Amino acid sequence: MHKNKFSAPQTLKELSKALKTKKENCFIAAGGTDLAVKINKNRIFDYSIIDITKIQELEKIEMINNSIIIGACTTMQSIENSEILKVYAPALVKAASKVGSTQIRNRATIGGNIANASQSADTLTVLMTYNAEVEIINSQGKIVTNKVNDIVKGLEKNLLNQDEVITKIKFKVEDNELSSFSKVGARKAVTISKINCCIKIKINKSNLIEKAEVYFGAIGPKPIKSEIVENVLVGKKFSKEVLSVLLDKSSLQVNEAIPTRASRYYKRIAVKGLVDSILNDLIEQEQSLEGDLYE
């Protein structure tokens, strides 16, 4: 019997301590946007909660050398307004700005987005594109680092242990990197229409795409890497000309990922709109970057 226990640690130390007694039906609450709904929907009456939103150090966004570090309780709204992220991880800013509604963005956290591993979690697609890692603390106070990709199982399952909590998200950024994100399907009720995409590229001095990272979300239990699309980008000149082949390959990728699902007809076409808007965004970013590149 949990007798509706509620604790709100204020430091990581207190958090570890609280995790010592965590068992089934004890939930970690951050923004609550998914958890409160889940508890209510599944008619769970006997549960306890560890609220991590009072741990201040989990709300920071910082950049150390080439690494971006984001506290797990950082809200979508803070990500959307972060000057650092606007410059170094525009795709993440875009994804955060497209989550739910104003009310949800004010509460939903990036750590929660990962831990929930919802099939259509928008920021997951971006974080996987950036090959992001998470720092995890356990009940012993031990901190381990893992790839987001290895923690997320998808379909609302993660691979965290019972006594583990994500505390930080980290990824590396490089100069002259462009990234963008796009999605369709905003409401939870219409998951079937959902698909999202993140593209990150690095262009060199002669305007050739040196590296490309591409992920599609919501066409599998978790975001999938699209080598098909990455391969057509690498080595190409970065301009509007890559668009037509990009569109075809994206469609092909969707087809490969969901060859039998009924939504494939729709998604094969929807993906073209996504990729088109991403490319436009990247071209815009490139133009504003050009100054520093060629001077």
Partner 1 sequence: MIIRALINGEKINKDVDPNKRLLDFLREDMRLISVKEGCGEGECGACTVILDGKAVTSCTIFTGQIQGCEVVTLEGLDKSGELDKIRDSFIKHGAIQCGFCTPGMILSSKALLDKNSNPTKEEIKRAIEGNLCRCTGYNKIVEAVEEIVDSEVK
Measured between alpha carbons, how far is 47 from 119 in angstroms, rounded to an integer?
25
- Could you tell me the smallest distance in angstroms from the CB atom of residue 3 to partner 1? 10
Comparing CB distances to partner 1, the nearer of 189 and 262 is 189
- Could you tell me the smallest distance in angstroms from the CB atom of residue 257 to partner 1? 27
- Could you tell me the smallest distance in angstroms from the CB atom of residue 162 to partner 1? 19
Binding site for partner 1 (CB under 8 A): 4-6, 8, 29, 31-37, 40-41, 47-49, 51, 53-54, 77, 100-104, 106-107, 187-189
- Could you tell me the smallest distance in angstroms from the CB atom of residue 34 to partner 1? 8
- Could you tell me the smallest distance in angstroms from the CB atom of residue 188 to partner 1? 6
Task: Render 143-196 in DSSP notation, one character per residue.
Answer: EEEEEHHHHEEETTEE---TT-EEEEEEEE--TTEEEEEEEE--SGGGGGG-EE
Note every long-range contact of 230-239, with CB atoms under 8 Å and residues 24 or more positions apart, other chains counting: 233/199, 233/201, 233/209, 234/209, 234/210, 235/208, 235/209, 236/208, 236/209, 237/207, 237/208, 237/209, 238/201, 238/203, 238/207, 238/208, 238/209, 238/282, 238/286, 239/207, 239/283
